[in-house]
Amino acid sequence: MKDEQRERNIVVETVVRVMIPFIQLFALYVIIHGAGGPGGGFQGGVVFASAFILYVIAFDLAGARARFPESANTIFSSLGLYLYAGIGLLAIIFSSGAAQYLNYGFIPFTSDFYENRALGMDFVEMGIGITVMAITASIFFDLSQKDEKESEKEEEESK
Amino acid sequence: MNRLKLITLLLIILLCALFIYVAEDIPVFGDPNTPPLKSVELFTLEVDPLASLLNQHIVPETLSGELVKRGFPPPSRVEKIPDLEGEWNVFIAKEEPRYAKEEKYYWVKKEGDKLRISRYAFVVRWIEKGLEETAVPNMVTYGLADYRGYDTLGETSVIFTAGVSVILLLRRRSRL
């Protein structure tokens, strides 16, 4: 029923189909590039979520949910926070209690103390990016889902 | 209704005036030599016995006594700023493992017959030591993820909480 309602626009669909991979790649670039230039976890996560929003605008919600299911969404939204907090906890574990929480220098990624701090920062940015991406997508999906239900109810009432 | 509009307009004008008044006190953005961005003034001392001691790289008793009396960390070393007459950097000693043992902390400047003692703003240390301490060239990122890591952890959990509350309020199904 939904497919009949939806107006198919070949131009929009083709452009979105081409753009989405590049938007996602750019989002990953922004997250990873946070240490060297402008960018970071928050911005990259929002850019990544905008790819899902664009998909929902051009196609339909059910297709977007099939590609990014609710279970994965829920897992990702807490995974980023766990990654962040876990990196902080690793600093305490590896220094056997000498370092403070979130003192990345004591995690032995490499032999250099200051290089460890840079790498720890990269992992933290990834955690932020995952959480922001999943939460933004989740909020958007929930809001649009409610609208669809209401419109269905209104149609039933009018019938 | 008309009265409400008038009151709203007046309030907006009042708010604009308040913002302009506040913005007057903010220094020109990006000028690193204005007082709050570079230093915070603490007190002034007489120049006579102190300047010669400072030039010999000795910390004067009066200076450290005055600083400790006001609750600031005691200075450990004095260095003259090269190419500038009558300005000194005063360092303090720190006892933190793996980090720099001494830190540039006070700024002494000769003004007429007074010595102005200032504390360097945190921004100065942030800019000068950040790349060296974290191996990350982006000033914003090492602030966000390293120096203020706790803050960012809190921000991320705020976003997580917002998402969970939207799920609880809007997703009316049995399974999550």
Written as six digits, the tokens of B175 are 């399974």
Q: What is the pLDDT of residues B23-69, one digit of tens each?
A: 877 766 667 777 777 888 888 888 777 778 888 888 888 888 888 88
Residue (of A125, A100, A98, A113) closest to A36 by Cα position = A125
Tell me the chain B residues in contact with residue A105 when contact means C-beta distances shorter than 8 Å: 98
Distance of alpha carbon A121 from alpha carbon A33, whole angstroms: 11
Residue (of A94, A88, A139) closest to B152 by Cα position = A88
pLDDT above 90: residue A126: yes
pLDDT above 70: residue B162: yes
- A67 and A55 Cβ atoms separated by less than 8 Å: yes
Written as six digits, the tokens of B72 are 């600031």
CA angle (B113 as vertex; B109, B119 as ends), nearest 5: 25
Burial class (CB in 10 A: 0-12, 13-18, 19+), A84: buried
pLDDT (average), residues B125-145: 87
- A130 and A79 Cβ atoms separated by less than 8 Å: yes
The residue of A30, A121, A126 whose CB has the most chain B CBs within 10 angstroms, and thus the best one to mutate to test that interface, is A121
Asked if A117 lies within 8 A of B146 by C-beta distance, the reply is yes
Residue B41 makes CB contacts below 8 A (sequence gap 6+) with B35, B116, B117, B118
Residue B3: what pLDDT? 92
Tell me whether B139 touches chain A (CB under 8 Å): no
Q: What torsion, rounded to 10 degrees, do the Cα atoms A109, A26, A19, A140 define? A: 80
| Closest CA–CA distance from residue B99 to any residue of chain A (Å) | 10
Mean predicted lDDT score pLDDT of chain A: 87
Asked if A121 lies within 8 A of B162 by C-beta distance, the reply is no
Q: In chain A, whose CA is at the least distance from the CA of B169?
A: A142
Q: Which ipTM value was assigned to this complex?
A: 0.85
Distance of alpha carbon A44 from alpha carbon A32, whole angstroms: 9
Tell me the chain A residues in contact with residue B152 when contact means C-beta distances shorter than 8 Å: 84, 124, 128
Question: What are the residue ranges spanned by the domains of chain B?
Answer: 5-135, 136-176
Tell me whether A40 touches chain B (CB under 8 Å): yes
Tell me the chain B residues in contact with residue A84 when contact means C-beta distances shorter than 8 Å: 152-153, 156
Written as six digits, the tokens of B32 are 């690193």
pLDDT above 90: residue B76: no
- How many pairs of residues across A and B have Cβ atoms under 8 Å apart? 99
Higher pLDDT: B10 or B81? It is: B10
Distance of alpha carbon B87 from alpha carbon B157, whole angstroms: 46
Distance of alpha carbon B99 from alpha carbon B120, whole angstroms: 19
Higher pLDDT: A36 or B27? It is: A36
- β-sheet with B102-111: strand ranges across: B39-46, B114-120, B102-111, B87-93, B75-80
Tell me the chain A residues in contact with residue B138 when contact means C-beta distances shorter than 8 Å: 34-38
Q: HSE, CB side, 13 Å, CA atoms: give it for residue A158.
A: 6
pTM of the model: 0.78
Q: What is the pLDDT of residues A13-29, one digit of tens each?
A: 999 999 999 999 999 99
Residue A148: what pLDDT? 57
Question: What are the residue ranges spanned by the domains of chain A?
Answer: 2-158
| Closest CA–CA distance from residue B162 to any residue of chain A (Å) | 8
* Residue B30 backbone class (left: φ over 0; alpha: ψ -120 to 50; beta: rest): left
State which amino acid sits at residue A75. Answer: I
